[in-house]
Amino acid sequence: MFLGLAVFIILAITITILVMRAIKALFRLLTGGRNKDKDNEQQPQKEAEKKSETKKESKKETEEESKSESEQLEKTVPQEEEDPSVEITRRRFADACFHGITEEFATGENLMEIDPKTVADLCVGTSGITYLEFNNREIAGEEYYGFNLIVEKDTRMVLTYNGQAVASLTAVETQTTAIINGQEVEGTMPGFRINTFPPTLTPGMVPSDLEKMLSAAERVRACGNDPRLVADCMIGEFTEPGNISKLKSSI
């Protein structure tokens, strides 16, 4: 009887050990499967992160190479410098705009008559322009970047460039006083108003256009209040050979 009890205990212990081993094996199997599934789920994300990181590094390297090439180009190719004359013209333009329209008045002995026929004769006689071309000078369109003349009998004479006034000579009546028979008498007398105008920038203009306009206005101002000199100066700007050539091409 005692022997049977001992055998029973040994069998129970053996079975218990086998069952525990079986449970541990099953647990390891299940745990390993879950870890494997988790790794499989995280694998695409890891690959995407790896590709993104590789792409960033490649882009950074490309930008650094491009920057290096640009810096090398700046060292080997000298930068183009602006023509100093352009800066001078820009300053003169700003100064002309600041001072605005200038004005002089002329009275007395130097008065003259504004006559289209006389102006036409002077222009034809001092340049290669014909009477027909002179009479059709207003046909020149907006593409004509040159000097032109507006002449209205006994009224005004205007020098223009690309359609805008550069200088004008206008007949006016000025107030004056005179002593007649010992008495002071107020009245008017004929005279001229001389004006120059600052340039206005328009599409298509280049620095040389501004330079021509500024220089012409300066030459007119240099004539002071002498209307005859002003008229001659205007005609001289209009009949300049290069200007006449442009006008012929335009009309």
pLDDT of residue 108: 77
Which amino acid is located at 69 in the chain?
E
The answer for 214, left when phi > 0, alpha when psi is -120 to 50, beta otherwise, is alpha
The β-bridge partners of 190 are 173
pTM: 0.64
Looking at residue 210, its pLDDT comes to: 93
**204 DSSP assignment:** T
At residue 159, the pLDDT reads 98
Nearest to 176 by CA among 104, 107, 109: 107
| Cβ–Cβ under 8 Å, residues 157 and 114 | yes
CA neighbor of 140 nearest in space, from 213, 246, 212, 211: 246
What pLDDT does residue 251 have? 87
Q: For the chain, which ranges sit under pLDDT 50? A: 66, 69-70, 72-80
Q: How far apart are CA 240 and CA 222, in angstroms?
A: 18
